[in-house]
Amino acid sequence: MDQKRRFLTDWRLDAAREMPSFQLANLLAAEAAHHTAMARRLALLDTLQSAHRPLMAAELIGRVEARLGSDCWGNGPERTLHDDIRRLKETGGEIYYTRGQPPGYLWGGPHGAVDPQAIQQKIEPADPDYVRAIAHLTPQDKLARAAEMARWAQTLQTQTRGGDE
């Protein structure tokens, strides 16, 4: 395993134990502001997690476009969607396709959806001063803050939204 991969693997394991999820989400949101693929994948995850029924590819594409703009998919929306789903699944995303009625993609997480209003109260909009402050923290301090976020996220996992978007 190369040095970068080893670091990222160790960081993920430590973050899962220690990183407060709202801070991790804030960092991800700040990075996603500069990386279309990351923003698209975060929107895709949020869309699937908040849906209460399977969603067909065209519907997923439309819902993500409604959040990010029509240019978020590039030239091949369906191919990009399938690539994003594959990448998300490779990193542990519980995304499934059902051929039942109705057919479509669905999130198979055991805890239901996270309440988007609770997340919005904690991380939106991303505060540039906060992001700069985090950038100056030591790795140990970042991990300590990450632990707080993970504990906070665990409390959100039991909350669900009442109805489809």
Q: What is the mean pLDDT of residues 21-49?
A: 82
Query: Which own/partner pairs from 5-14 qualify as long-range (CB within 8 Å, at least 24 positions apart)?
Result: 14/143, 14/146
Residue 161: name the closest of 41, 48, 21, 43 by CA. 48
The structural domains of the chain, with segments of one domain joined by +, span 15-156
pLDDT value of residue 141: 78
Residue 118: name the closest of 80, 164, 79, 149 by CA. 149
Lowest mean pLDDT among 51-65, 93-107, 135-149: 135-149
Phi first, then psi: give them for residue 143, nearest 5 degrees.
Answer: -65, -40
Lowest mean pLDDT among 16-25, 81-90, 99-108: 16-25
pLDDT in tens, 108-121: 744 444 444 444 44
Look at residue 133 and tell me whether its pLDDT is greater than 50. Answer: yes
Q: Is the pTM of this model over 0.75?
A: no
- Measured distance CA(18)–CA(132) in Å, rounded: 21
Sign of CA dihedral 106, 107, 112, 118: negative
**Can you read off the two tokens belonging to residue 83?**
């690539």
pLDDT value of residue 94: 85
